[in-house]
Structures are given as C-alpha cells and as structure tokens.
Structure 1
Amino acid sequence: MGKPLVFEIWEKPATSCIIGICSTIWFYIQKKHIGYADVGLSYETAIQGHYWRIITSAFSHISVLHLVFNMSALWSLGLVEQLRRAGLGVEFYLQYTLVLILLSGLLVLGAYHVLIQRFKFEYFRRVTAVGYSCVVFGWMTILAVKQPSSRLNLFGVLSLPISFAPFESLIFTSIIVPQASFIGHLSGIIVGYSIAWGLIHGMNNYWTVVILGWTVLVFILSLKRSGAFDLSFVEIESVTDASLPTVGFIASGNGRTLQTGVPPSIGAELA
C-alpha cells in the first residue's frame, strides 16, 4: 500500500505546485473558451514579438487527455526532488525546470526557422505548440541518465523503464494524441540530454534569480508591445538622447510606472 497523498505532496512540493498551476490554468482556459492560437507558441507569432508565448504555451493545455498525460508523468518524475544525494533535489529541480522551459521553447522556434527558411516547409510557420510536454520529456531524459533503474508510471496503470521512457513516450504520445508536437517533445529530450551530460551546467540560486528576473521583464514588455493584454501600468517610450537605454520608475496617479527609453535609431525597438 502506497503512502498517503498528503505525504507524497510534502515530498514533492515543487512538482505539486506546478501540477496545481497547470490544472488551474486549464480550468481557466476551459471557462473562458480560450484556444490554441491565444496562448500557444508559433513561429509566426514569435517573429511578431510575442515572446511571452514561450511561457504561456508551456503551462497551458487545451486537451484534458494531454493535461492528464503530462501531469501523470510529471508526478512520477517528481522523484527528482527526493534525490538530493544523487546531486538532484528540489533546488536542482526548480533551477533546471526554468532552463527546460526557456531552452526547449527556443529550440522549437529554431527548428521551425530551419524547416521554413531552409526546407521551405511553410506549414510550420503557423503550427502552434502548447503544453508542458517539453519539460516532462526533459526530466524523463535526465532521470534516464542519472537514475536508469527508475520507472515511469503513467495514469497509475502503465509502468515504463525510465531508461527507455523518453522515446517510448514520444511514440506513445504521437499515437494517442496525434496533434501533439513531435518537435516540441524532441526538443525537451535534446535539452534534457544536454543537462544530464553536463553540456548545460552551472545553474545556482543566483543565476536562477537573474534569469527569472529577465524572463519576467521580457514577458511583461512583450505582452505590452504585442497588445495581447491591456497593461496600462507599463509604458514603453523612445527618447531623443542618443545614449544608453535607460529604465526607471516614475510616479503617476495610479502608482509606479515603468518608463523605458531606447536610442532613436531606425528599426530599434525594445522587445
């Protein structure tokens, strides 16, 4: 007989929080009737400056089957949080979850760029990726390298050897969810191997805070610039002084306002 759920949640705090966030966002999407095009990541929207979609696409799920698959796999992969002695643990999990979200999203866009520009597959210009699969496949891959004797449980009924899970799940997902992003899943696997083999390393709390800070800043500014949401408290303005860009806060009637300036050169924009 397994442990009570409350104890498993206590042992997997970060995983539990992420599952809660993804589930809450899914319910919100269903309630507001939001579609793929509103939150997903595509090449066409990325080149228009919708960089915020790298984040929203990762935490959004449109299909309940996709949500259940990802969250079931993620719950099993929460084992990473309990393996501090193996060099993993909660801090490692949080630090490299951020890496997986950002790099897998950028890798997806890079793959789309090559397919469109080099091979003229215009179809990929508007293909929309959505879901936490990139991160899930990344953690599968990391565990496959770090803890090859572990097993991955899906839906509470299917158990896969973790050493083969990334590619088994890649095939399995492509069959049961035909519209799932093969390139997105493969990108997660590539980033996962890069982390597990030490090609991507050196993350600590300092760099996590720095990268997270820049991510939040770019997220907010790209939201404002794209006009997807009304962010009246953020102002982006150009300045006439040809000096370095400046960022500062000024007082306004509604509180503190972010005021950003850039040199007035042709084609220069703050993204």
Structure 2
Amino acid sequence: MGRPLVFEILEKPATSCFIGICSAIWFYIQKKNIGYSHVGLSYETAIAGHHWRIITSAFSHISILHLVFNMSALWSLGVVEKLGPIGLGMEYYLQYTLVLVVLSGALVLGMYHILIQKFKIEYFRRVTAVGYSCVVFGWMTILSVKQPTSKLHLFGFLSLPISFAPFESLIFTSIIVPQASFIGHLSGIVVGYAIAWGLINGMNNYWAVSMLGWIVLVSVFSLKRSGAYDFSFLEIESVTDPSLPSVRFVGNGRTLQMSALPATGVELV
C-alpha cells in the first residue's frame, strides 16, 4: 500500500501549490470560456507590450489532457524539494522556478525573433504558446544533471530514467501531440542546463523576492499600457518625448512621478 497522499503533499509543499495554482487557473479559464489568445504568449503580442503574457502563458492550460500531462510530470519532479542534502531543496526549487518561468519565456521570444527576422518564417509571428512545460522540461534537465539516478514517473505507470527524460519527452510529446511546442520545450531544456551547469547561479531569497517584485511591477505596467486591464489608480501619460512615458500613481493627494525607458495557431508548452 502506498503512502497517504497527505504525507506526499506535506513533503512537496511548493510543488503541490504550483499544481493547485495551475489547476485553479485551468478551472477559471474553462468556467469563463477564456481562449488561449487571451492568455498565451506570441511574438506579436510581446512586441505590442503584452509582457505580462510571459507569466500568464506559463500557468495557463487549455485542455484537461494538457494540464494532466504537465502536472503529472511536475508531481514526479517535486522530489527536488526533498534533495536539500545535495544542494537542492524547497528554497532552491522556488528560486529557480521563478528563473525558469521568466528566462524560458524570454528565450522562446528570442527564438521566434531569429526565425522571423533571419529565416523569414512568418508562422512564428502569430503562433501562441501556453502551458507549464517550459518549467517542467527545465526541472527534468536540472534533475538529470544533479541526480542522474532518479526516475520520472508519468500517470502513475510510465517510468523514464531521468538522465534521458528531457530529450525522450521532447521527442515523445512532439510525436503524440502535434500542437506541442518544440521551441518551448527546447527553451526549458536550455535554461535548465544553464542552471544545472552553474551558468546561471547566485540566486538566494533576496534576489528571488527582488525578481518577483520587478515581475509584478512590469506586469502591472504592461497590463495597463496594453489596455488588457484598467488599473484606475495608475495613469501613464506621455511627456516631451512620447517614447519616454511619465508614470503617475494617484491617491490620497500624493503623486509619485518617474520616467522609464521604452521596452524595445497555438502551441502547447
């Protein structure tokens, strides 16, 4: 007989929270009949200033199968939280999940840019990506380097050696799910190797909280500027140069102004 689920949840609290967040967002998307075009990440929307989509696209899933596949893999990868003795653990997991979400999304856009501008493949201008797979593939890769003897368990019956899991899963998903984003999954793998090999390191609680704060700030401003959400307390108006906006918070008779430099089909991830 296996261990009660509650004990597994207590041993992987961060993983359980992310699964709960993704599941709740999926339920909300279904209930409100929200399409992938409203939350997904594409080159065109990024150029238009919808930078908040890097975050919403990562935590959004459109189909139940897409959600179940990603969350099943994520649950198995939650073993990272229990590997504190080898330098991983829950804090490491939270800190680098944040890095994976942001950098893998940015790398996807970078690859789209090269394919569009260099190779003139216009398809990637409008293709929209949604899903948590970038993060899942990133953790597969990190675990394959840090703990190569581990196994990845999917759906409770499929078991893959973690050392080959990133590329096995990359090929497997590309074959059985035609809409699976090869570029999105590959981006997660690349960022995962960069983290595992120490090319991206130095994250601690201070930098993680600072990074989270900047993510929230940029997301709020991009939501406001793109017109996706109206924050009534926040006004953005141009000054002498239209490319240098003035940002003003209005409330309680106090005003804070600052200037900022301008920010220069569907795929499942």
1:72 and 1:119 mapped to 2: Cα distance?
36
SS of the aligned residue for 1:31 comes to helix
1:43 and 1:245 mapped to 2: Cα distance?
23
Counterpart of 1:49 in structure 2 is 49
1:168 and 1:45 mapped to 2: Cα distance?
31
CA 1:202–1:7: 2 relative to 1, 3 Å? same
SS of the aligned residue for 1:129 comes to strand
TM-score by length of 2: 0.92
Deviations 1:227-254 (A, max 9, x none): 012222222234569xx9886754249x
Two-structure CA RMSD over aligned residues (Å) = 2.1
Q: Is the 8 A contact 1:19 1:71 kept in 2?
A: yes
Counterpart of 1:226 in structure 2 is 226
Q: Is the 8 A contact 1:262 1:269 kept in 2?
A: no
1:246 and 1:224 mapped to 2: Cα distance?
13
One-letter code of the match for 2:187?
S
Counterpart of 2:259 in structure 1 is 262
* Structure 1 alignment gaps of length 5 or more: none
SS of the aligned residue for 2:129 comes to coil
Q: Is the 8 A contact 2:234 2:248 kept in 1?
A: no
Question: Which consecutive aligned stretches of 4+ in structure 1 deviate over 3 angstroms post-superposition?
Answer: 238-241, 244-250, 258-261, 268-271
One-letter code of the match for 2:228?
A
CA 1:44–1:107: 2 relative to 1, 3 Å? same
1:24 and 1:89 mapped to 2: Cα distance?
25
CA 1:169–1:248: 2 relative to 1, 3 Å? same
Q: Is the 8 A contact 1:237 1:259 kept in 2?
A: no
Deviations 1:182-210 (A, max 9, x none): 10000000000000000100000111011
- Cα distance, 1:96 vs structure 2: 0.2
Counterpart of 1:196 in structure 2 is 196
Q: Which has the higher contact order (CA 8 A, sep 6+)?
A: 2
| Seq. identity, % | 78
- Cα distance, 1:33 vs structure 2: 1.0
Whether 1:23 aligns to 2:23 is: yes
Counterpart of 1:36 in structure 2 is 36
1:1-271 alignment, distance < 5 Å: 1-239=1-239, 249-252=249-252, 259-262=256-259, 269=262
- Cα distance, 1:140 vs structure 2: 0.2
1:249 and 1:223 mapped to 2: Cα distance?
15
* Structure 2 alignment gaps of length 5 or more: 265-269
Deviations 1:102-133 (A, max 9, x none): 00000000000000000000000001110000
Q: Is the 8 A contact 1:235 1:259 kept in 2?
A: no
CA 1:34–1:259: 2 relative to 1, 3 Å? farther
Deviations 1:157-201 (A, max 9, x none): 100000000011111111222101110000000000000000100
SS of the aligned residue for 1:160 comes to strand
2:202 and 2:91 mapped to 1: Cα distance?
13
Q: Is the 8 A contact 2:237 2:246 kept in 1?
A: no
Q: Is the 8 A contact 1:238 1:261 kept in 2?
A: no
- Cα distance, 1:259 vs structure 2: 4.9
